[in-house]
Amino acid sequence: MPNPNPIGIFDSGVGGISVMREIRRLLPAEDLLYFADSAHCPYGIKTPEEICSRIFKIAQFMVNQNAKLIVSACNTASIAGLELLRRAFELPIVGMEPAIKPAAAITRNGKVGVMATGVTISGQKFLSLLSRFANGVEVIKVACPGLVEQVEQGFLDDPETEELLKTYLAPLIAEGVDTVVLGCTHYPFLRRQVESIMGPSVKVIDTGYAVAKRVAQVLREEGLQNSSTGEGKVIFFTSGNPGKVSQVITKLWNQTPVEINNVSI
């Protein structure tokens, strides 16, 4: 039975839009709900308990909006609380993790850099990801505080963002990595800037498309696809200031002014 209900996608802020645009490309008929938890962003400096408490409320909100599947479009939230959400809710939940496996497959010199939040790269889950997928490749991880805040303000090309990127990428350049994993969904909006600092011989990868493919697969397997042939609706929600968030989402989404609903949860 086809299912016309929306897919719910959330992130600490606007970063998950880098995942949503891949879902939109692959599944244009699906209605999408996007929740930016802007009042509580960034997640990367919070405790796992604080993050779990936020994402539980967001998932509950999405269930109340009749979501048929939820995407945790945030590496930090997925690392901290994906299992909790899967235990608490019955609908399918797709999460994400830094692209260690694809990076280990494409590196030519066996050196991979991972940019992510402190929460993502500091826990047991990340070590387990490395032990399963690094496959003997050397992984140099770098936490990048401040970058999420720059993207949240839409400051993609300003000098402070460039300075932060140069600082965080310096150890990866020094180690001679030939592959960089964007392990936070905000960072694909800085891909061009990262590529320009790293130079043309370094590959920069993220997981947005892989997550979209996984969403398509789950919808197919569970018989949850929308059978409509028209273009699905996209509805935005934020816990933050809708005026400010709208300006940035308009810039990152499709340039037409975006209306955002404020939700206090």
CA distances from 63 to 3, 125, 219 (A): 15, 27, 16
Amino acid symbol at 18: S
Cβ at position 226, least distance to ligand DGL in Å: 26
**Closer residue to ligand DGL (CB): 51 or 258:** 51
Cβ count near 21 (within 10 Å): 17
**Closer residue to ligand DGL (CB): 69 or 119:** 119
Preceding peptide of 98 cis, ω within 30°: no
d(CA 35, CA 59): 10
Cβ at position 130, least distance to ligand DGL in Å: 17
Strand pairing of 7-11 and 32-36?
Answer: parallel
Nearest residue to ligand DGL on Cβ basis: 44
d(CA 60, CA 155): 32
Cβ at position 220, least distance to ligand DGL in Å: 26
Using CB under 6 A, list all residues that contact ligand DGL: 11-13, 15, 41-44, 74-76, 117, 120, 148, 184-186
The tokens for 49 are 């308990």
**Closer residue to ligand DGL (CB): 6 or 208:** 208
d(CA 217, CA 41): 30
**Closer residue to ligand DGL (CB): 43 or 237:** 43
Active site residues: 74, 184
Cβ at position 100, least distance to ligand DGL in Å: 14
Specify the DSSP class assigned to residue 5: P
